[in-house]
C-alpha cells in the first residue's frame, strides 16, 4: 500500500471510529443496560525527537552514521470505569534529510486494562506501554527509535515489591515480501532487604520463512538473570551483575545450536539529572549469525538482532561509558536526555552522541460528567 493510500486509510479509520464511539454511547444511554460508572475521551499526543550520531570508523561492529528525526503518535483514547481503555491513532516517523514526506506511517489500535496491579494490552501500541526492563543487550536505543510499535499482546503485574511482564510482538507476516517472525518476551523483578533486587529478562525470537522459500528458519533465545543493589549516599547508585546466555540455531546453515554466553557488570551514579554510567560485558560473541546470508540474499543483521551491535564483540570484551543529563519535567510529560558515549572492544575507542526530547501530552476532552473541557 502506497504512503498516500495509507494516510487516507488511517484518517478514514479514525473518523469511522469517532462515529462508532458516538453511536455506541448513545445506544447505551437509551437502553441503560451497561453498568458504566464513568466515561472519558482523551487525546493523547506524543512527540519524540531523536539525534544519534555514531563514530565507529575502523570497527566491524557498527557503521558511522547520524540518525536525526522525529516521530509523532496522536491517538484518541476512550476510557470507561477507570480501568478499560481503547485507543485508535497513528504513528508517523520522519528522518531529517529524507526526500519522502513520511518515512513510515502505521496504525495504532489497542485495548488496555489496568486496575492498579494487573494489566493487559492487546493490539498495536507503542513500546513505552511495556513495563519490563529491557536493556541494550535486548533492544538498542537506535533500534527502538526506528521500531517504536509492538504488534501483539502484553500481560502485566506490578506492586510495591516488583513487577512481571509476558509479551509477544508479531513483527513479520508470512508473505512473499516478508519473513514470518515474532518475539516472546518476559521481564520480572523483585525487591528485598530494602536496597537489593533480583530479576530476569528472557527473549525468544522465531525468524522464519518467506512464502517463496522454506527451510530458512532461525531460532534465537537469550536469558539474562541479574542481581543488583540501589541506594542513595548523596548520589543515587545502581549496581547490577548479570549473566547472559544465548541459544541460537540456523536451520539453513546447519551445525546445531550455538551457545555464546557472558557476564555483564553495570554501574550508574546520578544526582540532579547528571549521571555517569558504565556497562562492562565480558564473554563470547552474542550475535554469531549477524553476517549470515539468507535465501533472499541479504544478511540477517538487525532483523535478527535488535541488541546493540557491540554485543557481537569478537575480542571477548565490550565496555560502554556514558556521561550525560537525563531528567523528566511536568509530571513526567517532558523528558530530555543528552549523553556522550565512549565504547571500546578492547582494541580501539569509539564515540556516540545522543540527544532526545520526548513530549507526551494527554489533555482531557471531557470531564467526569462528560462535559466538554475548555
Reference 96, options 78, 69, 118; nearest CA is: 69
Whole-prediction pTM:
0.85
Q: Please answer whether residues 181 and 190 qualify as being in contact, where contact means their C-beta atoms are separated by less than 8 angstroms.
A: no
Residues forming a β-bridge with 70: 49, 94
- Interior angle at CA 159, CA 197 and CA 76, nearest 5: 120
pLDDT digits (tens, 9 = 90+) for 2-25: 666 666 666 665 655 555 555 444
pLDDT average, residue stretch 202-226: 92
pLDDT score of 348: 92
Reference 262, options 222, 303, 218, 308; nearest CA is: 222
pLDDT average, residue stretch 337-349: 94
Break the chain into its structural domains and give their ranges. Answer: 53-63+106-353
pLDDT score of 5: 63
3-state helix, strand, coil in the chain (%, to 5): 10, 55, 30
Q: Please answer whether residues 224 and 199 qualify as being in contact, where contact means their C-beta atoms are separated by less than 8 angstroms.
A: no
pLDDT score of 9: 60
Reference 204, options 176, 179, 183; nearest CA is: 183
The helix (H) or strand (E) run that includes residue 39 is strand 39-55
CA distances from 79 to 38, 43, 149, 152 (A): 8, 11, 21, 21
Q: Binning pLDDT at 50, 70 and 90, where does residue 104 land?
A: very high
Structure-block grid coordinates of residue 348: 580501539
pLDDT score of 118: 93
- Interior angle at CA 85, CA 79 and CA 89, nearest 5: 100
pLDDT score of 227: 98
Question: What value does the CA radius of gyration of the chain take, rounded to a whole number of Å?
Answer: 22
**Helices marked H in the chain — which ranges?**
3-31, 141-146, 301-304
- Report the C-alpha gap between 7 and 103 in whole angstroms: 12
The helix (H) or strand (E) run that includes residue 339 is strand 334-344
pLDDT digits (tens, 9 = 90+) for 248-274: 999 888 878 999 999 999 999 999 999
Of all residues in the chain, the percent with pLDDT exceeding 70 is 87
Amino acid at each position: 500500500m502506497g504512503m498516500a493510500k495509507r494516510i487516507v486509510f488511517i484518517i478514514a479509520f479514525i473518523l469511522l471510529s469517532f462515529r462508532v464511539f458516538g453511536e455506541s454511547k448513545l445506544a447505551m444511554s437509551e437502553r441503560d443496560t451497561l453498568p458504566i460508572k464513568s466515561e472519558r475521551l482523551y487525546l493523547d499526543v506524543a512527540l519524540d525527537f531523536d539525534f544519534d550520531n555514531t563514530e565507529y570508523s575502523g570497527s566491524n561492529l557498527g557503521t558511522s552514521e547520524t540518525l536525526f528525526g522525529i516521530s509523532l503518535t496522536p491517538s484518541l483514547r476512550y476510557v470507561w470505569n477507570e480501568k478499560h481503555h481503547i485507543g485508535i491513532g497513528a504513528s508517523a516517523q520522519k528522518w531529517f534529510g529524507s526526500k519522502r514526506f513520511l518515512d513510515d506511517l502505521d496504525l495504532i489500535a489497542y485495548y488496555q486494562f489496568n486496575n492498579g496491579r494487573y494489566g493487559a494490552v492487546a493490539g498495536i501500541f507503542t513500546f513505552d506501554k511495556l513495563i519490563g526492563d529491557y536493556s541494550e543487550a535486548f533492544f538498542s536505543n537506535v533500534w527502538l527509535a526506528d521500531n517504536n510499535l509492538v504488534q501483539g499482546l502484553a500481560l502485566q503485574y506490578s506492586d510495591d515489591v516488583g513487577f512481571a511482564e509476558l509479551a509477544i510482538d508479531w513483527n513479520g507476516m508470512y508473505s512473499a515480501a516478508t519473513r514470518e517472525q515474532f518475539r516472546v518476551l518476559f521481564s520480572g523483578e523483585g525487591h528485598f532487604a530494602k536496597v537489593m533486587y533480583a530479576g530476569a529478562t528472557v527473549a525468544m525470537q522465531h525468524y522464519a520463512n518467506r512464502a517463496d522459500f522454506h527451510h530458512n528458519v532461525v531460532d534465537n533465545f537469550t536469558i539474562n538473570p541479574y542481581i543488583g543493589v540501589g541506594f542513595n549516599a548523596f548520589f543515587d547508585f545502581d549496581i547490577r551483575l548479570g549473566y547472559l546466555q544465548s541459544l541460537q540455531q540456523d536451520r539453513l546453515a546447519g551445525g546445531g545450536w550455538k551457545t555464546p554466553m557472558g557476564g555483564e557488570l553495570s554501574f550508574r551514579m546520578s544526582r540532579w539529572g547528571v549521571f555517569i554510567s558504565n556497562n562492562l560485558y565480558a564473554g563470547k560473541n552474542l550475535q554469531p549469525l549477524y553476517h549470515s546470508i539468507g535465501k533472499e540474499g541479504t544478511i540477517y543483521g538487525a532483523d535478527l538482532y535488535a541488541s546493540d551491535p557491540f554485543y557481537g564483540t569478537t575480542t571477548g570484551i565490550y565496555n560502554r561509558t556514558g556521561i550525560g543529563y537525563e531528567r523528566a519535567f511536568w509530571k513526567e510529560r517532558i523528558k530530555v536526555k543528552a549523553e556522550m558515549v565512549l565504547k571500546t572492544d578492547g582494541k580501539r575507542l569509539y564515540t556516540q552522541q545522543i540527544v532526545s526530547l520526548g513530549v507526551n501530552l494527554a489533555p482531557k476532552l471531557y470531564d467526569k460528567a462528560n462535559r466538554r473541557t475548555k
